[in-house]
């Protein structure tokens, strides 16, 4: 019984708020520590008592009950009566010392910290908001570096008093690119860069959809010609151009990026399809509807392309067509037979099609097929990871020749077809058809539910 009682007394001493009635400061026991400390830094506590006397340091961590202190350090003063210990400043702490019935004053060391965040890119002329956290009651200075200034030149342009909640914010107008960081109580954040002019893609961009495909908002453009334009110099790079009519590719190895073409983009010149790539580009008029494909014809790669104002999206009229992460919102005129991608190969081979991670939307119009591959010359086909809505039949994949086709992991929006979600025209045995589903979607083309698997339909 006595042994159990001894254990209970020890436990009481370890957690009691005020285990004894100790004398206050001036009694020969002192304790000192800094009023502020950087987060996760090492805090040094010092004090004085009689020579070689035992000392206990009692701690209260912010967030614990107000009267809860625990003995976390047991020390012995040196021959001069001095003692010293340390702890890690992971939070605000109150602490005091006890020794032989004496109790020191209670000290408080508050953790100081500062954080800052801002957008990576904004539209030029817009208001940029910088936000952060810092020690309540402290002052935050925000240092700015303007594009074009000396690399190490930063100027204090904002002084902010932090409120009781520990939050702060400030703003500036993005007339150019800026780097900035925050400083408070001797601590500084990393430097943040906010570019102005071109908006970054939204977080989570993958499959093509508005905001994730086409010309990024704020991209500066220069007018190329007047009306339609023909590229005749091999290896030409068109970056940041605006064509108010059609763009015709009449030379090999052409690159188009970060641009806007109000008409069609084609490379068929007297039956010769010249090679080109097109990336981060919007094709088609902002209003109206053109009865023609937005992009064609062969030997091209389209990535993050947005097609608008066309009754057909993409055309394959020869070999080597790759379309990825792109988006087409189709329209229709009288007599239109709107397709998302159509094969049309009257002169021979149409080999090598990859159509991956795209969104084709023909809801609300009289459309034909979102995937229209029924030309007898089409071969070597991969249709994968696309979101498709609309059409008489949404997917038509009629294998005729060559290796089996891959039709995998496509999503067809429920109830958007007139006659059926798919037709393989009797050729399921020559199609690797797996993972295709019927789904519902939200206003931003995000999948909200999977209704059921979509098997190959003969």
Report whether 94 contacts 106 (CB < 8 A): yes
Give the chain's mean pLDDT: 91
Task: Tell me the sheet residues that pair with 342.
Answer: 315, 372
Residue 252, classified by CB atoms within 10 Å of its CB into exposed (0-12), middle (13-18) or buried (19+), is middle
Distances (CA, A) of 299 to 226, 251, 315, 376, 406: 27, 12, 11, 19, 20
**Is 204 domain-assigned?**
no
Buried b (16+ CB within 10 A) or exposed e, 4-19: eeeeeeeeeeeeeeeb
Helix (H) or strand (E) holding 84: strand 82-88
Regarding whether 329 and 303 lie in a shared domain, the answer is yes
Residue by residue, DSSP assigns 328-394 as EE----TT--EEEEEE--TTS-EEEEEEES-EEE-TTS-EEEEEEE--TTEEEEEEES-EEE-SSEE
Domain holding 381, by residue range, is 222-453
Regarding whether 153 and 107 lie in a shared domain, the answer is no
**Is 24 domain-assigned?**
yes
The model carries a pTM of 0.62
Of 180, 196, 212, which closes a domain?
196
CATH number at residue 129: 2.60.40.10
Is 4 strand, coil or helix?
helix
Regarding whether 350 and 287 lie in a shared domain, the answer is yes
**Alpha carbon distance 341, 358 (integer Å):** 11
Report whether 128 contacts 172 (CB < 8 A): yes
Regarding whether 301 and 270 lie in a shared domain, the answer is yes
Q: What angle do CA 162, 135, 181 make, to 5 degrees?
A: 75
Distances (CA, A) of 97 to 62, 68, 74, 172: 18, 15, 10, 49
**Is 202 domain-assigned?**
no
Regarding whether 429 and 353 lie in a shared domain, the answer is yes
Regarding whether 105 and 140 lie in a shared domain, the answer is no
CATH number at residue 79: 2.60.40.730
Of 78, 111, 144, which closes a domain?
111
Of 88, 111, 134, which closes a domain?
111
Regarding whether 155 and 95 lie in a shared domain, the answer is no
**Is 134 domain-assigned?**
yes
Specify the pairing of strand 192-196 against strand 229-231. unpaired
**Is 209 domain-assigned?**
no
**Alpha carbon distance 302, 283 (integer Å):** 11
The total number of structural domains that make up the chain: 3
Regarding whether 396 and 314 lie in a shared domain, the answer is yes
**Is 211 domain-assigned?**
no
Q: Tens of pLDDT along 114-170?
A: 999 999 888 777 899 999 999 999 999 999 999 999 999 999 999 999 999 999 999
**Alpha carbon distance 258, 24 (integer Å):** 73
Residue by residue, DSSP assigns 261-287 as ESS-EE-EETTEE--EEEEEEEES-SS
Q: What's the pLDDT at 200?
A: 66
Regarding whether 100 and 48 lie in a shared domain, the answer is yes
294: which residues sit within 8 A by CB, 6+ positions away? 264, 265, 283, 284, 305, 307, 308, 310, 312, 313, 314, 328
Regarding whether 343 and 440 lie in a shared domain, the answer is yes
**Is 215 domain-assigned?**
no
**Is 203 domain-assigned?**
no
Regarding whether 170 and 39 lie in a shared domain, the answer is no
pLDDT by residue for the chain (458 residues), tens only, comes to 333 333 333 333 344 444 443 444 445 899 999 998 988 899 999 999 999 999 999 999 999 999 999 999 999 999 999 999 999 999 999 999 999 999 999 999 989 889 999 998 887 778 999 999 999 999 999 999 999 999 999 999 999 999 999 999 999 999 899 999 999 998 999 999 998 876 667 767 778 999 899 998 878 899 998 999 999 999 999 999 999 999 999 999 999 999 999 999 999 999 999 999 999 999 999 999 999 999 999 999 999 999 999 999 999 999 999 999 999 999 999 989 999 999 999 888 899 999 999 999 999 999 999 999 999 999 999 999 999 999 999 999 999 999 999 999 999 999 999 999 999 999 999 999 999 999 999 999 999 999 999 999 98
Distances (CA, A) of 47 to 32, 52, 105: 6, 13, 11
Q: Which two tokens stand for residue 436?
A: 């295709």
Regarding whether 133 and 58 lie in a shared domain, the answer is no
Distances (CA, A) of 225 to 17, 30, 230, 238, 251: 82, 83, 9, 12, 17
Q: Tens of pLDDT along 365-377?
A: 999 999 999 999 9
């Amino acid at each position: 019984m006595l042994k159990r009682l001894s254990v209970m007394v020890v436990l009481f001493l370890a957690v009691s708020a005020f285990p004894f009635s100790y004398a206050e400061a001036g009694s020969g026991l002192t304790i000192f520590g800094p009023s502020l400390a950087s987060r996760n830094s090492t805090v040094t506590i010092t004090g004085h008592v009689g020579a070689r006397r035992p000392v206990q340091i009692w701690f209260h961590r912010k967030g614990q009950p107000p009267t809860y202190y625990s003995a976390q350090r047991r020390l012995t003063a040196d021959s001069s009566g001095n003692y010293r210990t340390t702890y890690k400043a992971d939070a605000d702490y109150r602490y005091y010392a006890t020794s032989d019935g004496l109790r020191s004053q209670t000290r408080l060391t508050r953790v100081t910290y500062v954080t800052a965040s801002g957008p990576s890119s904004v539209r030029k002329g817009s208001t940029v908001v910088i936000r952060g956290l810092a020690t309540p009651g402290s002052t935050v200075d925000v240092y700015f570096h303007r594009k074009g200034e000396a690399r190490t030149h930063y100027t204090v342009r904002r002084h902010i008093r932090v409120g009781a909640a520990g939050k702060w914010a400030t703003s500036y107008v993005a007339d150019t690119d800026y780097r900035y960081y925050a400083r408070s109580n001797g601590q500084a954040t990393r430097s943040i860069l906010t570019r102005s002019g071109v908006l970054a893609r939204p977080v989570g961009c993958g499959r093509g959809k508005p905001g994730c495909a086409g010309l990024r908002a704020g991209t500066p453009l220069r007018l190329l010609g007047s009306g339609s334009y023909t590229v005749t110099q091999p290896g030409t790079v068109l970056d940041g151009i605006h064509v108010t009519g059609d763009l015709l590719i009449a030379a090999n190895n052409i690159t188009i990026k970060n641009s806007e073409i109000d008409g069609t983009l084609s490379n068929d010149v007297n039956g010769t399809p010249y090679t080109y790539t097109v990336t981060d580009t919007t094709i088609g008029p902002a209003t109206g509807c053109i009865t023609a494909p937005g992009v064609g014809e062969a030997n091209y790669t389209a990535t993050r392309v947005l097609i608008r104002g066309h009754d057909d999206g993409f055309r394959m009229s020869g070999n080597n067509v790759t379309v990825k992460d792109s988006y087409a919102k189709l329209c229709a005129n009288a007599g239109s037979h709107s397709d998302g991608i159509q094969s049309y190969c009257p002169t021979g081979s149409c080999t090598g099609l990859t159509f991956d991670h795209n969104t084709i939307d023909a809801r609300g119009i009289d459309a034909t097929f979102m995937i229209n591959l029924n030309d007898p010359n089409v071969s070597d086909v991969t249709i994968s990871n696309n979101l498709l809505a609309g059409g008489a039949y949404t997917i038509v994949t009629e294998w005729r020749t060559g290796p089996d086709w891959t039709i995998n992991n496509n999503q067809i929006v429920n109830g958007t077809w007139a006659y059926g979600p798919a037709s393989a025209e009797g050729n399921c045995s020559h199609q690797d058809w797996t993972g295709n589903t019927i789904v519902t979607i939200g206003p931003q083309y995000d999948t909200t539910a999977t209704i059921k698997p979509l098997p190959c339909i003969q």
